[in-house]
Amino acid sequence: MNTPRTLILSVDRDDDVGYKAGVTTPAIGREACLEAAVKLGTADPEDSDTNAIFQAIKTYDDQLAKGEDVEVALISGNHLNLLEGDRRIADLLEEVIEKTGVSECILISDGAEDEYILPIIQSRLKIAGIVRVVIKQLPNIEGTYYIIKKLMNDPKIARTFLVPLGGLLLLTALAALFLPGISALLVVLGVVGLYLLFKGFGIDDYFSMFSHGLVDSLKNGRMSAISYLGAGVLIVAGLVSGLMSIVTYYPDTGNVGFIYNFVTFLFGSCLWFIVAALVAVVGKIIDSVQNSPETLYRMFVIPFFAVSIGLLSYGFMIYFLSISPLEPFPFTSTEGIVAIIAMTIGGLLIAFLGIYLRPRFQRKMEAKRLEKIALEEAEAESIKNGQSVYRKVKY
């Protein structure tokens, strides 16, 4: 029975080893990891990643002394963008696996942050164990004050703790100053709840991906940059339209429940959001046609689904507000029933149409790709044999 080869892996998710010490990862082998730890410890003796690397080396030595087949490696992410860093970690891990031939892993972690990349590792290697490194400190007041001070000076801690706290304090002051009839505490609680929902559902990651995609598109001169900006303008217009709907249909919002205000807001903004999604997708499709037509089929159903979801949502909003007993609405209850039935059927038909056409479109794109490959191979063979190459050009 063959003994599995085990990787002792230290992960520096925010790339302190590269940002502070100038070490390029992956660092594979005991000597490479020891050199990286010394450089990082010299650059910043207080960085906990130094201890994690030394712990990886110690674990490697212990397992090697037991006669196990082990290898040690250090990989890192991105100091400024954790999402891009996680992608880099996945790529570096593939490189380490290819070079070392390992089949399982012992992860060395210096905190909960590194464990965000556990799914990335588990998708490629079996996790044989996790070693957590805890730095020992003197439990006195002076030491606690020093730790808190260092944490507050850390840019990562400042962005995740100080910025939201400062924003809440500022929001409390502004609510008390400009909204005297509304409790500032309720405003703050609402914003905190919205922020927690964004974090819980990972919506902030989508915003981060959107912003980075916009920047990359602008740098590369792609059509999606303009379409993203246009979609952003339409979203703002939709927000304004939603607020105007509330003012129009329920001017005295204090006598109306939150649900009615929320559905009225969506009723006024829904169509704008659908058009914004279509504009963004059209820009992405144009870029795919110009740069990578082989991936075009992946976005084929998105416009169908956007219109389908929009029709289903819009029909429900019309029906819900048409049966509202609070205020007269432009649609009667009968018209609301007709609207929800018609838009539900229309939305489902559009979604089914996208699902039905997608495999046919994919096969057509695949046939064009294979035809292009065959033509290039034939041209290469002709050139190799010294024959003239003629290609039909469409005008």
Q: What is the pTM of this model?
A: 0.46
d(CA 277, CA 309): 11
DSSP for 213-225? HHHHHHHHT-HHH
C-beta separation of 301 from 281 below 8 A: no
Q: How far is CA 201 from CA 78, 84, 164, 337, in A?
A: 23, 19, 18, 32
C-beta separation of 308 from 348 below 8 A: yes
Amino acid 74: pLDDT? 93
DSSP for 64-95? HHTT--EEEEEEE--SS-HHHHHHHHHHHHHH
> Locate tokens 């035809």: which residue?
371
The DSSP bridge pattern shows strands 6-12 and 104-109 to be parallel
Q: Is 385 helix (H, G, I), strand (E, B) or coil?
A: coil
d(CA 256, CA 327): 9
| Mean pLDDT per 10-residue interval, the chain, length 395 residues | 81 86 90 92 84 91 90 88 84 91 87 71 87 65 56 64 71 68 67 68 65 66 76 88 79 62 84 89 80 71 87 88 72 84 92 86 77 76 63 48
